[in-house]
Amino acid sequence: MHFCVIKSRTIKIITIILLVAVLLAVSINGSTSAQVFFGYAPRKVPIYSVATEEKRVAISFDAAWGADKTEEILKILDEFDVTATFFLVGFWVDDYTDMVKKIDEAGCEIGTHSNTHPDMVKLDKDSVREELTTSIEKIEAVTNKEVKLFRAPFGSYNNQLLDTAEELGLKTIQWDVDTLDWKGLSASEINNRVLSKVQNGSIILMHNNSDHVLDGLRLILTTLKNKSYKIGSVGDLVYEDNYTVDRNGVQHSN
């Protein structure tokens, strides 16, 4: 009789444990119940690259200081019949408004790179929102086109930044191929870095005013074209909706 009672209690305890485990595993707004219950949540990540079987990549340029080479970049892109995405800082838009118009008229995509290029992880939510909305307003006033993409200065981000960007309808974009052109690398060194890392769905990072960006860009485009990659803007590459981003920043279509 005692054995039956003990066995019955054991079964009940095991059943309760299993039930609790199931409940804590249930997803609530992207987090599990356990994460909510114990007061922690996973770190969100931006889009570093896109999962695709197609040989497609995106070229992107960050513009914060200087514009001496930007018009020539546009000519090279046109020569190779490709587009790209330019992430512009608000004060760059102020200083080079005519160049913003030329980027837009060339058919290239424009995203925000903040308004004053701070480390936005160090800002409170209201300041983050102001950085984004101010820069967006400046860009849209010139192009009359909606800004949909954001790249964080220094590639620095946290959940608050990503959440705020999302609330403003922005996709936060990183990169998986860093040319390191800002370090003064030669065109061949820039090209070799791309070749060693590029894959289907890659997002390539360059800077509009780096020392060897023109020769480097021409060499990259030649190499990628020879390898049958289709090259375009970030907006053409990423999935618009119905997607997930895994822990490595790879965007997957659902």
pLDDT digit string (tens) for the chain, length 254 residues? 554 554 566 666 565 555 544 444 443 333 343 443 444 558 899 999 999 999 999 999 999 999 999 999 999 999 999 999 999 999 999 999 999 999 999 999 999 999 999 999 999 999 999 999 999 999 999 999 999 999 999 999 999 999 999 999 999 999 999 999 999 999 999 999 999 999 999 999 999 999 999 999 999 999 999 999 999 999 999 999 999 999 999 999 99
Q: How far is CA 48 from CA 103, 168, 171, in A?
A: 23, 20, 11
Please give the single-letter amino acid code of residue 219: L
Q: Is the distance from CB of 86 to CB of 96 less than 8 angstroms? A: no
CA distances from residue 4 to 7, 10, 16, 18 in whole angstroms, order as listed: 5, 10, 18, 21
The DSSP 8-state label assigned to residue 237 in this structure reads H
Query: If residue 88 lies in a helix (H) or strand (E), which one and from where to where?
Result: strand 85-88
- pTM of the full predicted structure? 0.84
Q: Please report the pLDDT score of residue 238 as a whole number.
A: 98
**Residue linked to tokens 């690398």:** 185
Q: The tokens of 130 are what? A: 């102001």
For position 41, what pLDDT does the model report?
58
CB of 87 within 8 A of CB of 61?
A: yes
